[in-house]
Amino acid sequence: MAEPASGNGTSRRSKRRKRSRRKNPDGTMTLIEHIYEFRRRLGFALLAVVIGGIVGFFWFSTKVGPIPSLGEIVKDPYCAIPPDRRLNGYQGCQLLQTVPFEAFMIQLKVGLAAGAVLFSPLWLYQVWAFIAPGLYSKERKYALTFVGFASVLFAGGAVLAYLLFPHALQLLMGFGQEEFITALTADKYISFMLSLLIIFGISFELPLLVVMLNRVGVVKYRQLKRWRRGIVFALFVFAAFVTPGSDPFSMLGLAGALTVLFELSIQLARLHDRKKDRERSDEGWDQLDDDEAAPFSYTPSTIDDEPAAPTASGGRSATDDIT
């Protein structure tokens, strides 16, 4: 009975070695192996999110050293409203629970969102480990750069939204202060805050999209310069539509930040196009007529020209296993 177990263990180790880039540099796998790999990476990613959700759930009501609890961080913008505008404001700062288990569900939702952000390197690595074997080294470099800047921009947008949220909340709660008093329910308040954070985070990805489109040659600096005024106007209209509550603080903050980032992306496109133009001038491509062929090598390489990758089966190319 010991031999089959050893055989299964050896088989699993051999599969792991085959998925390893050191043992399998071109990342070739059969269709079934791709499905198994996807299932494995998805399981690890979900496990990281679940663990992060558990950590966030307990962090919601627990202070970690100098770091305040997650509940205090979420509740601070509401507590910044003057006490005379809040229900029982002078007696404390608490959100209103209207249905059973609402507090539990809010703690679970906020904890899961915070845990997914804190543990994002773990589940993002699983996504990256699944797609990286199918990319060339240059494509992997661009993908890593894109993911890194996208994460930083999303975090920056969420932080800006959190900083603007108290001012927007005070403005919105200030209308009709003689006739109304603010008694926000926890569900509505948390949903409003999370939607604002997500909207700001996603909106901050727009300038990165402009830079990537310029890198692949879809848009040029000349076009962006010509469209600048229209795009800035569109950014203000976009901010007015997507900000919940339509308060001027959130709208102007989002529109102003997007305008600055868009101008930065235009300048990056300008530097990139200037570099490309200089390379074209050095190669002599700018002096070619429109009907003249570019001096490329049009001779395709054959399979015999490519060196065969050594495999464990001996001599057989790794490309034979591709499905």
- Looking at the chain, how many residues does it have? 323
Residue 295's pLDDT is 61
Task: Please tell me the distance from the alpha carbon of residue 96 to that of residue 98, in angstroms, as a whole number.
Answer: 6
Residue 122's pLDDT is 83
Q: Exposed/middle/buried for 79, CB within 10 Å: 0-12, 13-18, 19+?
A: middle
Sign of CA dihedral 209, 214, 218, 219: positive
Residue 209's pLDDT is 86
Domain ranges, ordered by start, for the chain: 31-174+181-283
Residue 99 vs residues 38, 102, 103, 190: alpha-carbon distances, Å: 40, 6, 9, 15
Q: Tell me which residue has tokens 């959190």.
A: 162
Residue 283's pLDDT is 65
DSSP 8-state class, residue 315 = S
Q: Tell me which residue has tokens 């904890």.
A: 111
pLDDT tens string for the chain (323 positions)? 444 444 555 555 555 555 555 555 555 677 788 888 889 989 998 998 899 889 988 988 888 888 888 888 888 888 877 777 766 666 667 777 777 788 888 888 888 888 888 888 888 888 887 887 777 777 777 777 777 888 888 888 888 888 888 877 777 766 656 666 667 778 888 888 888 888 888 888 888 888 888 887 788 888 888 898 999 999 898 888 887 655 677 788 888 889 998 999 999 888 888 888 787 776 666 666 666 666 655 565 554 444 454 444 444 444 444 43
Task: Please tell me the distance from the alpha carbon of residue 153 to that of residue 164, in angstroms, as a whole number.
Answer: 16
- Tokens for 110? 């906020």
- Tokens for 34? 């791709």
DSSP 8-state class, residue 182 = B
Give Cα 144 to chain centroid, integer Å: 12
How many CB atoms within 10 Å of residue 199? 19
SS3 67: strand
Residue 51's pLDDT is 92
- Tokens for 99? 């249905």
